[in-house]
Chains A and B, each alone.
Chain A
């Protein structure tokens, strides 16, 4: 049994007395794809922002690769890559310029940044558009650039916040394939989504989060088995059973 690579302990975060993250604890093992599943406003992004040291929790701590986000955020930042829910790109610059710039920001040398940028673009299937300005790209292509950027500097742990929202099936499949390839290389991934079938397909384990709280956590198979024969129920049904609500209203 592998030691957990990430341990989140009793995280709390409120915005003006409204609890966005409430008593959240979980751990992710090395090489695992861990899904955080929940409806809009459940607290997925807030959790990721805490884990990625951008937002300080009101209470609790996170240990990543042995380092605390509170006491040693810089060491944590060297281990992680973040693919934010919103595009975080300079749209007036080309795809390759974005990748090289962020590569240099994570401390790569000029030639390393260049080489990695080329490799990442290949991985997400955008080699032909390397020099194109991002603002001329389709939504799906932008998302792929967004993902490519988060892989600069060989992170050990990747946070992906709803990377497939609102994009064409072609780009979506491309992203799935990228994730599978990353998993084969041993990358640890935290993946948030509100598409249940996506979590079912990709994730080794999932946590279902609602109103800031984790209400269930297990393998997709085990979760489905809780409410019936796993081949007949979906994670959607699990969510409905647990909360009395549909996931997407």
Chain B
């Protein structure tokens, strides 16, 4: 255990003496990010954006109609890059059939009793009908449903409180149900009942609005995933260098365990990765104004897991190759193939489904699905647990292969 620590410190010391490596770790990624934010800024405006379909089973005039009206996209040209189109399908059966036929990725359905459920506090349920192939549509719809639910809920509480307040102040007659409903609808649909009631204005936002998406919300995680992996994979060189420098032999002859050596390199690589993601997020937030979504903790954990996967990959690579040159070129090759495949360079959800499938063979793909869900579609922690577990799975597989191969490899 002690050995792991000292080997890690030694690796970090070696790293700090290497200006070129420092440049590649920290500065280079940002040169990329800055260059690509310009390019991507225009790219996002193409018509290949995600379309989210919404429908209601309610009678006309229910609250769901107001919500849909509020969130429906009226003019595509004003959408921010990456922001999805929200389209209102009036005919439920037709829309449902379209999902079944695979013409639509998915559908968010407001139930028949939506308004009643809210007014009578008996609860109501939003349904996402989804085509299993369309993972990103599903993620987006779930995020949308979630945000509608939480916002309606909180506004319902605000509205009830407001009405009670109005009654208490004698401004509203508790027996006049029509007047109450009017106030309520006004609040829920985000329209001010009247001027001068500033307390209410504060409590009401237009329902279910999808925040305009900053292109950096996609670009930063994409380059984070790519460069974290890139830099970590180059860590494979460290072990190969120990082998070629004969220091590996020296370590083994001084009763340092093979797994401690791997552990030390892993820890050093991971520590560098953590520095890298810290820089990425801090610069991303301060300079690019990215939004970590409703669960920053999930974003952080996902990033750390990407570091862990990458460091594990480095160990596997190091155990499989013989020379430093092949470690280096394989690391670069893997990084450059896996990044676009995994959706680091363009959003996965604009790609055909076979490419989305390929993405899922890479750790990058899973990390990107997670980041996109969290940072573009308003998903919460619970929605990305699968992605986290898959990344952990990748890390375990890589590490096991690495340890197993390194156990018997010649020095």
Interface, chain A (partner B; CB < 8 A): 49, 52-55, 73-74, 77-78, 80, 82, 84, 86-93, 97, 101-102, 104-107, 149-150, 153
Contact = CB atoms under 8 A, between A and B. Distances in A.
Interface in B1-44: 2-3, 6, 10, 13-14, 17-18
A77 B254 contact: yes
A49 to B, nearest CB: 7
B250 A102 contact: yes
B255 interface: yes
Contacts of A90: 10, 14, 245, 247
A49 B252 CA distance: 11
- Which 8 pairs show the lowest CB-CB distances between chains A and B? A77-B255, A88-B246, A88-B250, A52-B253, A106-B254, A86-B246, A92-B17, A82-B253
A84 B246 contact: yes
Contacts of B250: 82, 84, 88, 102, 149-150
Contacts of B249: 49, 54, 82, 84, 88
B411 interface: yes
Nearest to B411: A54
B271 interface: no
Contact of B254 (A55, A93, A105): A105
Contact of A93 (B10, B255, B256, B411): B10
B10 A101 contact: yes
Nearest to A155: B254
Nearest to B260: A105
Interface of B: 2-3, 6, 10, 13-14, 17-18, 245-247, 249-256, 411
Contacts of A84: 246, 249-250
B13 A97 contact: yes
B6 A88 contact: no
Contacts of A149: 250
Nearest to B250: A88
Contact of B6 (A53, A80, A101): A101
15 contacts: A52-B253, A54-B249, A54-B253, A88-B245, A88-B247, A88-B249, A90-B245, A90-B247, A92-B14, A92-B18, A93-B10, A93-B13, A102-B250, A105-B6, A153-B254
A52 B248 CA distance: 13
Nearest to A48: B253
B253 A78 contact: no
B272 to A, nearest CB: 16
A70 B18 CA distance: 40
B252 A54 contact: yes
A105 B14 contact: no
Contacts of A92: 14, 17-18
B251 A105 contact: yes
Contacts of B254: 77, 82, 102, 105-106, 153
A16 to B, nearest CB: 12
A75 to B, nearest CB: 9
B253 A104 contact: no
Contacts of A80: 253
A74 B247 contact: no
Given A82-B250, A87-B246, A90-B247, 5 more contacts: A53-B252, A101-B6, A102-B254, A106-B254, A106-B255
A102 B2 CA distance: 13
B342 to A, nearest CB: 33
A171 B409 CA distance: 35
A81 B196 CA distance: 86
A171 B297 CA distance: 58
Contacts of A91: 245
Contacts of B253: 52-54, 77, 80, 82
A56 to B, nearest CB: 10
A217 to B, nearest CB: 25
Contacts of A87: 245-246
A144 B246 CA distance: 16
A74 B245 contact: no
Contacts of B10: 90, 93, 101
A70 to B, nearest CB: 15
Nearest to B261: A105
A149 B18 CA distance: 23
A84 B18 CA distance: 26
